[in-house]
Amino acid sequence: MSFVALAECLVSEGYCLEMGSINAPGIHYNIRGSGRLVIKGSPPIELKPHTLVIVPPNAPFRIEADGFHRGMQNLRTVDGLLVAVSKDSILHIVAGEGDPEVMLICGYFDACYGSAVNLFGTLTTPIVEQFSEVDRLDTMLKSAIGELVTQEVGSGAMSSALLKLVIVNILRRSLHSNNVWVERFSLLRDPQIARAFAEMASNPGAPHTVNSLAQSAYLGRSAFMARFTDVVGQPPMNVLRDLRMRQAAEQLQTGQVPIEQVVRNTGYESRSSFARAFRKVFGMDPSEYRSSTA
């Protein structure tokens, strides 16, 4: 998964923050306060602490602070694109003065696992999930921002990895959710296959096999292979290889993990087999890749 931008959005009482369309899906996590997030063409979404909203790509939206509940009919509108200020690789977008009523952390991202699985590519309506403090999604997102602020080597890769953890949490939530949005993922039209994919995505370096993944999906080997390939578009071990190579690339970019450790972390027993798989995906040796991204 790669991110396009991270932003902190602060909206004071009596204000409305207008955001234009962005060519990427966005995670919007409400850290504190209450208000509404209104996406063009969709009913208003109530914002409470730990409300998470995924906005589809190219969907204009606005964030309203809680003033509309207190009889304020005319919220003052601020164009977010005009007031956005970039500082320490973070966009700070403020509507109003004084203490904000609503504080959100927003991340715009491309969620592609491997080379072919785009979880949000066909999303046309928002996903809304209510998390709680114990889920620690706010901690993950704050850590992602902290990594960018430090500007240390590999901070971009670390931020991307933290955002991926948020996506994995959403995927896991979907496996036990009765919400309608679950059906909007092509991957999740088959919950048994989604369960196996979640096992792979959350820990690519584990010693997964077709048999172990089939067992996690409660399917026989042949049925699992056929259904996984139909839903995802590739055989499971091809997808696992791509997941492992994306994990390896993130670790190589940091420049701090020895290649031998990267090999072990991604589930390979020998450096030569790892290097062959890496070349197949990235067209170069791991050491070359590390040098090119340093």
Instruction: State the span(s) of the chain assigned CATH 1.10.10.60.
Output: 190-294
The token pair at 234 is: 């590739």
Helix (H) or strand (E) holding 144: helix 137-150
At the topology level, CATH places domain 190-294 in: Arc Repressor Mutant, subunit A (1.10.10)
pLDDT at 148: 63
For residues 236 and 210, give the distance between their C-alpha atoms in angstroms, rounded to a whole number: 7
Task: Count Cβ atoms below 10 Å from residue 227 Cβ, excluding itself.
Answer: 18
**Residue limits of CATH 2.60.120.280 in the chain:** 2-174
| Token output for 170 | 């959403």
3-state DSSP: the chain helix, strand, coil percent, rounded to 5? Answer: 45, 25, 30
d(CA 14, CA 2): 35
Would you say 65 and 12 are in contact if contact means Cβ atoms under 8 Å apart?
A: yes
What's the pLDDT band for 257 if we cut at 50, 70, 90? confident
pLDDT tens for residues 174-190? Answer: 544 545 455 445 555 67
Mean pLDDT, range 56-65, rounded to an integer? 90
- Which has more pLDDT, 5 or 63? 63
Burial of residue 253 (CB within 10 Å: 0-12, 13-18, 19+) is buried
Backbone angles phi, psi at 53, to 5 degrees: -125, 130
Mean pLDDT of 72-95: 82
Q: What is the pTM of this model?
A: 0.59
Residue 235 DSSP label: -
CA pair distance 244, 238, nearest whole angstrom: 10
Distance between CA atoms of residues 243 and 126, nearest Å: 26
Whether the CB-CB separation of 104 and 15 falls below 8 Å is answered with no
Half-sphere exposure of 68 (CA within 13 A, CB side): 19
Short-list 38, 177, 14, 186, CA closest to 111: 186
Lowest pLDDT segment from 4-8, 9-13, 131-135: 4-8
Q: Whole-angstrom Cα distance, residue 176 to residue 195?
A: 10
Q: How long is the chain?
A: 294
* Two tokens, residue 51: 């409300």
Q: What percent of the chain has pLDDT over 70?
A: 78
Instruction: Classify domain 2-174 at the CATH topology level.
Output: Jelly Rolls (2.60.120)
Query: What gap in Å lies between CA 17 and CA 78, rounded to an integer?
Result: 5
Tell whether the model's pLDDT for residue 241 goes beyond 50. Answer: yes
Coil, strand or helix: which one is 136?
Answer: coil
The answer to which of 72-81, 165-174, 262-271 has the lowest mean pLDDT is: 165-174
pLDDT tens for residues 222-233?
Answer: 999 999 988 877
Which residues on adjacent β-strands are paired with residue 95?
A: 11
